[in-house]
Chains A and B, each alone.
Chain A
Amino acid sequence: MGTGLLLALLLLPLLGSLGVAFLKHDDLLAKRVTLGVTLLELVLAVLAFTAYSPGGARIQFASSVDWISQVGVHISFGVDGIALVMIGVIALLVPIVVLAGWADKLPQGRSAAGFLSLVLVQEALMVGVFAATDVFLFYVLFEIMLIPMYFLIGGYGGARRQYAAVKFFLYSFLGGLIMLASAIGCYALAADKLGKGTFDWATLVQVVHDAPLETQIWLFFGFFIAFAIKAPLVPLHTWLPDAAEQAPVGIAVILVGVLDKVGTFGFLRYNLPMFPDASKALAPLVMVLGVLGVLYGSLLATGQRDLKRFIAYVSIAHFGFIAIGIFAFTAQAQVGAVSYMVNHSLATGMLILVIGMVIARGGSTSIADYGGMAKLTPLLGGMFLIAGLSTLSLPGTNSFVSEFLVLLGSFPTQPVAAVLATIGMILAALYVLWLYQRIMQGPVRGTALVGISGGPGSATDPEKAKVLDLSGREIAVLAPLVALIVLLGVYPKPVLDVVNPSVTATLTSVGAAVPAAAQEGK
């Protein structure tokens, strides 16, 4: 059953996208069909969760067919707990994004069908990239995945969308090529050892993991650079602010919420098991990059003047935490990092959506154009605050569990990095609450709000600026996220339990018999 579910998860959005592509002349129908398909996908994902047994095989729901048998390339899929929760996040976020963009105006001459069918293709490819268990297939999907995103940003984005789309594409594509080089290197190693090359992930892990350290390091970097661009680690991050700024709101959610997680997922699935010695040897480097990301991203988030660029830098800070958690090599830190991948999608996804709702009302992405908005839209203000509190990892919200686990778990093995990263907790409070203050608190002000009643600056009485509070549809978009943010903050066990065995397996394959804290005390 599980295998069928996984294949259905892959094919459904693909078929859906084909169908939607034909609905060029009926925007509403296209939206409805897309929403239906994505909701069905969500149902499938939930079923997949129930079919998955956390204590079971390392890779479950596995299936495989030959693709290019001459060079040992297969089309094979399967999931572990880490991939499964990410697929769950995809299935959850896409319908929310579709609903959130329901009333968006598309650029002249573009149909909703075109946009939505790209979104569905994107969904299928993202599921594929997490489910691929053949390294070559993963590479192919990793690169192909860029194409719909390129068009989504470049075709439907803001004023500088072309520049942003090209920059996004080139960065990621180049990273992918470097990864391909490494993948071929691994293939060559397998050919040497087994007499026959292969790209099968499980086989490669066996073959490559005891290669000499120097070889491992070279191969490690090939994958690492690709992933460090994707889940942007400083200093490879500069494509993200442009992409996030120019992408339509919903696409930014997918980009930051899911696509970027392929990078951190890649660390876990490829770097650690395939190159364990290199991973351990280079952990200090990752710690430096992680801490740098946390502090640098946070400070830059504080200094941003644009709402969407703000989010990009917040994410860069959070990716720093995730990287630290992954390379600290303790179960707590790594489970924390994986749950961080989920929780960041929920928290930052919600923050982007809320900010999108602010922008939809004020028509400006500049922070300085707003002020005192909570007075006009108290509900939107409340939602903004909830998303913000989750972003700053307040206990009781989902993000606290993951951030706390990352820091607590990293402390025994990487005390310096962990302590420096805790400064990020203070900075997070600063950038979130300061943004909230500038947008929502104080007297009603700013050209985006005051100008609304009849051209910028025309409203003499700020209190009379007509800005509507959340609509029913918008509440429906945010409500599931709020519910999950609170639920997973108070009762995170279901996610932790799914992730824990896969993390343990990953750590075992690294040979990181690193004791999680001083266990002699227990």
Chain B
Amino acid sequence: MTHTLLAAEGALPAAGVAQSAWLLLALPLFGAAVLLLGGKATNKWGHLLGCATVILAFVYGLTLFLSTTSLKAADRIQELHLFSWIPVDSLSIDFGLRLDPLSLTFVLLITGVGSLIHVYSIGYMSHDTDRRKFFAYLNLFVAAMLLLVLGNGFVTLYFGWEGVGLASYLLIAFWQHKPAAATAAKKAFLMNRVGDVGLAVAIFLMWANLGTTQYTEVFAKIGTLDGGTVLAISLLLLLGACGKSGQFPLQAWLPDAMEGPTPVSALIHAATMVTAGVYLIARSNPIYDLTADGRLVVTIIGTVTLLIGCVIGCAYDDIKKVLAYSTVSQIGYMILGVGLGPVGYALGITHLLTHGFFKAGLFLGAGSVMHGMNDEVDMRQYGGLAKKMPITFATFGLGYLALIGFPFLSGFYSKDAIIEAAFGQEGWRGWVFGGAAMLGVALTAFYMTRLMLMTFFGEQRWKNLKSSDGRDYHPHESPAVMTVPMIILAVGSVFAGFLLTNGNFLANWLEPSLGELKEAGHPPLPAAAMTALSLGLMVVGVGLAWLFVGRKPVPVTKPERVSWVVRAARADLYGNKLNETLFAKPGEALTKGLVIADDKAVDGTVTGIAGALAFLSSRLRRTQTGFVRSYALTMLGGSVLVVAALLMVRFS
């Protein structure tokens, strides 16, 4: 398998421009450090510094990217050794960067979309007294995310992995005086840690069996392991991916994470961090190539999650939660893609990039709507906003069309490719995975159309309403500092798909990292028929949404008499309930029990023994009076032990 060899081959030492790649980490880290240490003194220009570091990182990343395009495929994998991080005996964990097509692609996504969102945040956070801190955390996030994708081994990945988790925690809890925000942040961190444990144990397995944790060496030696171990590693990595990427069964934190400011939702919880699971699996392609069972589980998780996300997305009235479940669902598609193996790695990454554009754009659009609507997120309070916010409407609309797979927009290319590849799987798998992905098209079209109709069309319901803080609504278009990033992302939503897939551009570019993109084996239907089918389903979804939501007035309060399907969807398909019953409740009871047991049983026993040893019938609590006596008796007891031990040694 040529691609395995390529990814596993020793990388070249970085040369030329690439030798300065540490700047990618240093720039945003510098921004974060200055803003955090500088305190209020940096309030005036802090946001500008925050933007500048990320934009500079983008410029450098672009330069670096362009400098590698002329290289031969094999030369495009370079490593930059920075220092020895954790060296103990035979273990040597390097702090180094791997600069290859896959990581550079992510660098461009992270710093590119990151720059736009930083700029947007200048406007969005302009009224917040802690804006400086917000930019510090955003910079910290960018640094950690870049480390995640640039690290040259699984432990540096883990560093970045938990680093973005911290940034995510800080930013979800940015308005930490709100209890819901604090709880959501904690929940996100905890559920991520569950996944992180999987990633950690996978690393332990690599160390125990291969004696290394660096990518090049792991990939070179992974073929020597038995199938069971490879399968175990692949499943543990998947657990890590599920935590970070909000995949079943660890999906429940992501919708709650919408408590964070909307730019955070756009950058971290849509475009970049939550796609890290997809990156992890794609990066570990030499491992997944070896285990068909591991890949099968990945595809199952992706399929289940994409359906869960769609179904719940149909039921929410909170614009950000709908988008959040949409993200869960779209990442499900990506995970399904990379789970297909050599026929899908590049497809998953392609969808990840196009999704990065249109979902970031959609979130920024939602933020713009909220900005004009007193931070209200309930779509039942919206309606007819298209006229009031024409730019937001237009950019959001393009993102919407890209997401539902409207012909020739981004999602059309990237999602259909995954669906076709899924159908190409052998036997029942093709029908099940392909069918589920196809069903997802209709559901996606439904919930997104519902969102569009409730927000931008129909009656202007807000006219007769007040926001929860008692103010009237005065919807208005956002300032240019916010709309320009939205426009740029909208352009990306339109063209990125075509540009990336035209002549397999991205797949070819990624070949040194991911291997050659194989053709899916046995599609049961011709490609044109599948495209027609998915377009048909999209139209059905749009039509149904119009039937349910568009043709009659939307009630301002959500109807309570609904079918069990809607009730289940509104309750997140009972994901939270399940976690609570399985873990939270028993854990709480166990903890309470242990606290009592520790006091009564453990401490009681020991103090009891101490009391008995001192021939005191009273408890140790009362030893204040009998202290001298008990002390003397303890000495005596000790002396007896001494003698006993002496005898033991002498005569044993």
Contact = CB atoms under 8 A, between A and B. Distances in A.
Contact of A163 (B158, B621, B646): B621
B480 to A, nearest CB: 32
A303 B592 contact: yes
Main secondary structure of the interface of A (DSSP, over half): helix
A405 B86 contact: yes
B228 to A, nearest CB: 14
B645 interface: yes
A218 B193 contact: no
B642 A177 contact: yes
B634 A299 contact: no
Interface stretch (B203-211, B289-297, B423-431, B562-570): B203-211
A433 interface: yes
Nearest to A375: B177
Contacts of B590: 299
A238 B158 CA distance: 36
B211 A212 contact: no
Contacts of B211: 517-519, 521-522
A184 B644 CA distance: 11
Contacts of A178: 638, 641
Given A219-B649, A405-B88, A442-B182, A425 B200 contact: yes
Contacts, number: 223
A256 interface: no
Nearest to A169: B631
B652 A215 contact: yes
A303 B591 contact: yes
Contact of A516 (B89, B169, B603): B89
A335 interface: yes
Interface in A475-522: 490-493, 496-497, 500, 504, 516-519, 521-522
A433 B189 contact: yes
A408 interface: yes
Contact of B591 (A299, A389, A496): A299
Interface string B149-160: 000000100110
A235 interface: yes
A401 B627 CA distance: 45
Main secondary structure of the interface of B (DSSP, over half): helix
A96 B606 CA distance: 35
A425 B166 contact: no
Contacts of A437: 182-183, 186
A342 to B, nearest CB: 14
A185 B221 contact: no
Nearest to A379: B39
Interface string B586-607: 0100111011001000110111
B194 interface: yes
B378 interface: no
Nearest to B598: A300
A132 B115 CA distance: 59
B634 A181 contact: no
B602 A425 contact: no
Contact of A181 (B598, B621, B644): B644
Given A214-B652, A408-B207, A394 B87 contact: no
Interface string A361-400: 0000000000010110000000000000100001110001
Nearest to B83: A491
B425 to A, nearest CB: 33
A433 B190 contact: yes
A189 interface: yes
A296 interface: yes
A182 B224 CA distance: 49
B179 interface: yes
A170 B88 contact: no
Given A173-B634, A177-B641, A303-B591, A425 B606 contact: no
B158 A395 contact: yes
Nearest to B200: A422
12 contacts: A170-B620, A174-B638, A188-B650, A235-B602, A335-B89, A394-B163, A394-B166, A401-B86, A426-B193, A442-B178, A490-B95, A522-B90
Given A170-B610, A174-B610, A442-B178, 16 more contacts: A177-B637, A188-B649, A218-B648, A236-B606, A238-B602, A300-B598, A404-B86, A404-B200, A411-B201, A434-B186, A441-B181, A491-B85, A493-B83, A493-B85, A518-B209, A521-B211
Closest 4 CB pairs of A and B: A177-B638, A441-B182, A181-B645, A238-B603
